Amino acid sequence: MASQSSPRQPLDPELRRRLLIEARTPWRSLRRALWFALVASAALGLATMAMRSASGGEVASTDLLIQGGALLLFGGLLWFDRNRSSDS
């Protein structure tokens, strides 16, 4: 049985950099997609309520506050989860 002693080849520097970034911030792209979907949903709900209110319909103020709060919360989460590196 011959042993295969191939020399260890170093990782490509770009691949190593990407892997280190992913290790520091796992699941970032999935999280950002989720935040974006929730922001879009809150914005659509708020726009629907605004149009209903503008057309003379009745909209509960608590519903508006919930939609506005959701928009601010998820928008804030999307903002804080941004890429803050100076090289990008």
Residue 12 lies in a domain: no
pLDDT at 88: 44
Range of the domain at 38: 26-80
End-to-end Cα, the chain, rounded Å: 50
Q: Would you say residue 31 lies in a domain?
A: yes
Q: Which residues of the chain have pLDDT under 50?
A: 86-88
Place of tokens 């879009």: 40
Residue 13 lies in a domain: no
Note the pLDDT of residue 40: 97
The verdict on residue 21 lying in a domain is no
The answer to the question of residue 47 being in a domain is: yes
* Residue 65 resides in a domain: yes
List C-alpha distances in Å: 25 to 39, 80, 82: 21, 13, 11
Residue 6 domain flag = no
Instruction: Specify if 17 maps to a domain.
Output: no
Total domain count, the chain: 1
